Amino acid sequence: HDLAGIHPYNPLEDPFSLYPHSLRNTDELCASIVRSHRETSQYRVEELLALRWKLLSREEIQAYQSKSVDEMWQYCAIRLTDAVQYVVEFAKHIPGFRLLSQNDQIALLKTGSMEVVLVRMSRFFNTENSTVFFDGKFAGVEVFKSLACGDLITAVFDFAHGMCDLKLTEPQIALFSALVLINTDRPCLEDRGRVQQVQKSVESGLTHILRRDNQESLMYKLNQRMSVLRSLCSLHMEKLRVFSQRYPLTAHSLFPPLYKELFA
Ligand code: CLR
């Protein structure tokens, strides 16, 4: 069980979780979400800026393009699952997340983790040449040709562009990611009331940060981005369903267990 690391909250084991104090104190809440984002974001922004010159060569692009559909899907599923694992780590350190039942934690991650990966993608995206950091180098849409889901890839790249246009700071990305995850609208939640409590605290954290940065107008734009995220993720699920029907063996035995558990 890949999600076994997400225990239900046990205050005896975790005296520093400080519920409900950390949910009431906005400064502290923001600080721990920002810290958690920093510690799980794999690369710092400056590091990514320094890597921008690393582009895939013609030959490397061709090598990706000549992979078979199922080989490329498997490859991308592994990369995505790796990214999702960091998001799970991030989630575990959002104050209040551990207070939720294991069922609700998984329900939130099922829909939210992919959305957060896409929010995080904007940090790994170069708008100047529309490339994303993929497997050590920057790659354009053409690299993903063999997946045979050009509409999804184009939509994902467009989304990254739109996110980059907002020019969010790291704390803003951190709080927005937390808000994307902690969402009472997700299906199959047992205790919506508790999720709402956590959601409210994260919301006030984001409001606090935007007010501090004098960028309150961003809230409206971020809300718009959330609905785009939803449609992107249902498109991803749809593509995965189609793929699994056509390549049941790859989807069943070669996809990472966590990928299957969260998305299939
Ligand atoms: C997102 C931010 C993470 C690091 C990371 C890892 C894998 C990347 C992902 C980022 C962005 C989206 C990505 C993915 C691998 C494949 C996927 C480039 C940079 C593309 C869009 C293909 C999706 C294919 C599905 C249909 C399986 O911290």
The tokens of 136 are what?
A: 């050590």
CA-124 nearest atom, ligand 1: 19
pLDDT in tens, the chain (264 residues): 456 555 555 554 554 454 556 666 899 999 999 999 999 999 999 999 999 999 999 999 999 999 999 999 999 999 999 999 999 999 999 999 998 999 999 999 988 999 999 999 999 999 999 999 998 999 999 999 999 999 999 999 999 999 999 999 999 999 999 999 999 999 889 999 999 999 999 999 999 999 999 999 999 999 999 999 999 999 998 988 888 888 888 888 788 888 888 877
Nearest to 77 by CA among 259, 261, 240, 264: 259
Give the Å distances, CA to CA, from 85 to 40, 108, 117, 250, 258: 9, 14, 10, 21, 8
Residue pair 119/40 in contact by the 8 Å Cβ criterion: no
In short, whether 145's Cβ falls inside 6 Å of ligand 1 is no
Amino acid making up residue 68: S
In short, whether 141's Cβ falls inside 6 Å of ligand 1 is no
pTM of the entire predicted model:
0.90
In short, whether 98's Cβ falls inside 6 Å of ligand 1 is no
Q: Which of 48, 73, 76, 153 to mutate to test the pocket of ligand 1 (most atoms within 8 A of CB)?
A: 76
In short, whether 195's Cβ falls inside 6 Å of ligand 1 is no
CA-43 nearest atom, ligand 1: 28
ipTM above 0.85, yes or no: yes
Nearest to 112 by CA among 197, 45, 43, 189: 189
83 Cα: distance to centroid of ligand 1 (angstroms): 8
CA-157 nearest atom, ligand 1: 21
Q: What pLDDT was estimated at residue 15?
A: 45
d(CA 139, CA 145): 11
Rounded to the nearest 10 degrees, the angle between the axes of helix 218-246 and helix 170-181 is: 60
In short, whether 124's Cβ falls inside 6 Å of ligand 1 is yes
In short, whether 132's Cβ falls inside 6 Å of ligand 1 is yes
